Amino acid sequence: MLSKKQAKLFFLGGTVVFFLIFIGLSWHSLSVEVPKQTHEENLTEAVIRGKEIFDSNNCMGCHTILGEGAYYAPELTKVMERRGVGYVKAALMSKVPWAPKGRKMVAYGFSDDEANDLVEFFTWIGNMDLNGFPAEPDLKNK
């Protein structure tokens, strides 16, 4: 049985050790793993402009990207892989509200340059290493 003083030292020592482990793992994640998985070297001006367009038009009000956002409209993390450039640009540049499967998307009528920037942003997002997110659907059992 530990005395009160020994228990206090054991608690404080354990707290310090695990705090240092936490700090070390956090530093490793932020300085090594995140840049490697996000491919920061592929960030271009077009990708940054696409992100700004995505944010300024509140796309996350309806869509989900990287698991964040609303669930009204489709997940956009791997949209370029699923739909391709032509489909995405057609939806973004449409002058009329676009309503596949009954859910209506606002007619933003983006210009060709804005649509290209958004495509670059979605392509960059889709090329991130997300540790298997989103999961591939099991199409064999459907």
Residue with tokens 């997300």: 130
Return the ∠ at Cα 92 (arms to 60 and 126), rounded to 5°.
60
Sequence-distant (≥ 6) Cβ neighbours of residue 66 within 8 angstroms? 77, 125, 128, 130, 133
Q: What amino acid occupies position 51?
A: K
User: What is the C-alpha to C-alpha distance for residues 142 and 22, in angstroms, rounded to an integer?
Assistant: 43
Please list the pLDDT of the chain residue by residue as tens digits (142 residues): 889 999 999 999 999 999 999 999 999 888 887 777 778 888 899 999 999 999 999 999 999 998 899 988 888 999 999 899 999 999 999 888 877 777 788 888 899 999 999 999 999 998 887 777 767 767 677 5
